[in-house]
C-alpha cells in the first residue's frame, strides 16, 4: 500500500517538474498537423487504467490517424491531477483534453473561459438525444453544451469482504444506520481490526455525505447544495455526531490513505467494509479479488448518488481535430461500451445493452432507472472546486480534533461563501 501512495506522489511530482521545465507530454509536436492527442486524467492504475485502456483501444480503431498520449497524474479523485491541471490552464498550456466532472465542477472551467462550446459537435455526431436530459443540463451553460460524458458512476456503495463478514455472522446488508452500528460493534467484538476502512479528505467527504443522505433523505440532501437546506440545522449536528461515531470504527492512519490503500485493507481481510464509488467494482476485478459483496450505504434507500466523468475541448488545445476524434469516440456506443465495461460505471448513453455488462453494472443500470438521483460534492456534481476544497479541509481538521461544532460552523461558512457560485 505504501508503494502505491508513493507512485502517486512521484507521478504528481514528475508532472510538476515537467511543467516547471515547460516540457508538457505533447511538446515538440504541437501545432497544425499534430498527430498527438494528450488525454489528461487521474486514471493511472488498476480498474481506472483498465477503463482508460478500453477507450484507448477504441480510439486507436476509430482515430488511427492520431496518436494517444497518456497525460495521467495518479491520485484518487484527481487529488494531485487537479492542481497540475490548474497550473497548466493558467499558463495556457492545456492538454488536448481533460477529465472534468459534470455539474458545478465543469461550470468552474466554463466560467473561467477555459473550454470550448461543443454544441455543434453534439448535432453533427447525433449526441443531442443520446444522453439523458438531466445529464446534458449539467453540461450546459447559457444553452451551450461544453463536454461529452463518458459514464455515470455511483458514489454511495458499501463494499464488504464476504469471508470477514460471514465469520462474524453477518449475512445480510444493514438497511439502516442503527443496524450498521450494530454490525460494526459485532465486527469489533469478533476482533476485526478495522470494521470500516477509510482514506483521506475526499473519501471522508464521501462517507459523511452518505450519512447525510441517510439522515436527511434525497431531497433535503440535494437542497444542501442549492441553498434550500440549512447547514446549521439540528439534523446536520445529528449527522455529524453519527459520522464521528463511524470514524471510531475506522483505521487511525486514514488521513495518509488513498482509496486504494483502504481498499487493500478490505482485500487483505483486515477490514470488513469500505464506502466507495463503484470504480471499486472495476478495481477489485482488475486485481483479481472476488470475495466481495456490495450494497447501497445503510439508510440511503434508492438514492443514487451520481457523478459523471466528462471530457472537454480546452481553449488553445494544440490538436483540436484530434481532440474531437477522441470526444466522438467516447460519446459513441462502441466507445462507451469499451470504457464502461472495464471502469465499473454505467454508460451515459441511453441506448446501451445491459447484457453487455458485468453483473455489478447490470444491477447499477437497473437501480439508476428507478432510483432518486442525488449529487456528490467531492466528485463535482453538487459543488464547485472551491467548495470541495473548503469541505475537505474542514473534514481533515475534524478527522484529528473531532470538534462537532467547529465542523458544522465551517460547513455553514463554506455554503455561505460558495452556494450559487
Task: Report the nearest approach of ligand GAL to the CB of residue 106 (Å).
Answer: 12
Least CB distance to ligand GAL at residue 277 (A): 6
Is there a contact between 260 and 8 (Cβ–Cβ < 8 Å)? Answer: no
Please identify, using beta-carbon distances, which residue of 7 and 119 lies nearer to ligand GAL. 7
How many helices (H) and strands (E) are present in the chain, helices listed first?
17, 14
Q: How near is the Cβ of 182 to ligand GAL at its closest, in Å?
A: 30
φ/ψ bin of 140: left (φ > 0), alpha (ψ from -120 to 50), beta (otherwise): beta
Q: Which is nearer to ligand GAL, 158 or 184 (CB)?
A: 158
Contacts for 130-134 with beta carbons within 8 Å, 24 or more apart? Answer: 130/331, 130/348, 130/349, 130/350, 130/351, 131/348, 131/349, 131/350, 132/348, 132/350, 134/373
Which of 52, 236 has the CB closer to ligand GAL?
52
Question: Which residues make up the interface to ligand GAL (CB under 6 A)?
Answer: 42-43, 48, 76-78, 101, 153, 277, 279, 307, 309, 379
Instruction: Return d(Cα 391, Cα 264) in angstroms, integer.
Output: 26
Letter string b/e over residues 118-148, b meaning 16 or more CB atoms within 10 A of that residue's CB? beebbeebebeebbbeebbebbbeeeebbbb
Nearest residue (CB) to ligand GAL, 103 versus 322:
103
Nearer to ligand GAL, 155 or 170 (CB): 155
Closest to ligand GAL by CB, 77 vs 325, is 77
Q: Which is nearer to ligand GAL, 261 or 309 (CB)?
A: 309
The C-alpha atoms of residue 171 and residue 168 are separated, in whole angstroms, by: 9
Separation of alpha carbons 188 and 168, rounded Å: 9
Query: CA 25 to CA 16: how far, in whole Å?
Result: 12
Give the integer Cα–Cα distance in Å for 391 and 44.
Answer: 26
Min CB(334)–ligand GAL separation in Å: 20
CB of 178 to ligand GAL, least distance (A): 30
| Minimum separation from the CB atom of position 185 to ligand GAL (A) | 30
Q: How far is the CB of 41 from ligand GAL (least distance, A)?
A: 8
Amino acid at each position: 500500500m505504501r508503494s502505491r501512495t508513493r507512485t502517486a506522489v512521484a507521478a504528481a511530482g514528475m508532472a510538476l517538474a515537467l511543467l516547471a521545465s515547460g516540457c508538457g507530454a505533447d511538446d515538440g509536436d504541437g501545432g497544425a498537423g499534430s498527430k498527438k492527442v494528450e488525454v489528461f486524467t487521474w486514471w493511472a492504475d488498476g480498474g481506472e487504467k483498465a477503463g482508460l485502456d478500453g477507450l484507448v483501444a477504441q480510439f486507436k480503431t476509430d482515430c488511427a490517424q492520431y496518436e494517444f498520449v497518456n497525460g495521467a497524474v495518479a491520485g484518487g479523485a484527481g487529488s494531485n491531477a487537479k492542481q497540475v491541471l490548474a497550473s497548466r490552464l493558467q499558463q495556457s498550456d492545456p492538454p488536448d483534453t481533460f477529465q472534468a466532472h459534470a455539474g458545478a465542477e465543469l461550470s468552474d472551467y466554463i466560467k473561467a473561459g477555459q473550454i470550448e462550446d461543443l454544441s455543434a459537435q453534439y448535432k453533427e455526431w447525433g449526441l443531442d438525444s443520446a444522453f439523458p436530459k438531466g445529464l446534458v443540463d449539467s453540461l450546459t451553460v447559457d444553452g451551450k453544451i461544453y463536454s461529452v460524458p463518458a459514464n455515470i458512476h455511483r458514489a454511495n456503495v458499501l463494499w464488504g469482504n464476504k469471508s470477514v463478514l460471514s465469520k462474524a455472522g453477518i449475512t445480510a446488508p444493514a438497511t439502516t444506520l442503527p443496524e450498521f452500528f450494530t454490525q460494526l460493534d459485532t465486527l469489533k467484538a469478533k476482533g476485526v481490526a478495522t470494521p470500516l476502512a477509510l482514506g483521506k479528505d475526499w473519501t471522508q467527504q464521501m462517507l459523511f455525505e452518505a450519512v447525510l443522505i441517510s439522515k436527511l433523505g434525497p431531497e433535503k440532501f440535494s437542497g444542501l447544495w442549492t441553498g434550500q437546506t440549512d447547514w446549521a440545522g439540528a439534523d446536520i449536528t445529528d449527522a455529524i455526531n453519527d459520522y464521528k461515531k463511524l470514524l471510531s470504527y475506522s483505521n487511525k492512519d486514514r488521513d495518509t490513505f488513498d482509496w486504494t490503500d483502504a481498499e487493500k485493507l478490505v482485500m487483505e481481510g483486515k477490514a470488513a467494509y469500505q464506502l466507495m464509488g463503484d470504480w471499486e467494482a472495476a478495481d477489485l476485478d482488475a486485481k483479481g479479488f472476488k470475495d466481495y459483496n456490495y450494497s447501497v450505504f445503510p439508510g440511503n434507500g434508492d438514492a443514487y448518488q451520481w457523478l459523471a466523468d466528462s471530457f472537454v475541448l480546452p481553449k488553445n488545445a494544440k490538436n483540436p481535430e484530434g481532440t474531437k476524434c477522441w470526444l466522438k469516440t467516447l460519446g459513441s456506443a462502441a466507445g462507451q461500451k469499451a470504457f464502461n465495461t472495464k471502469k465499473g460505471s454505467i454508460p451515459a448513453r441511453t441506448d446501451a445493452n445491459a447484457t453487455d455488462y458485468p453483473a455489478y453494472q447490470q444491477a447499477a443500470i437497473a437501480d439508476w432507472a428507478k432510483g432518486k438521483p442525488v449529487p456528490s460534492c467531492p466528485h463535482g456534481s453538487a459543488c464547485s472546486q472551491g467548495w470541495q476544497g473548503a469541505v475537505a479541509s474542514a473534514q481533515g481538521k475534524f478527522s484529528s480534533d473531532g470538534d462537532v461544532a467547529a465542523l458544522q460552523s465551517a460547513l455553514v461558512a463554506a455554503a455561505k461563501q460558495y452556494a450559487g457560485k
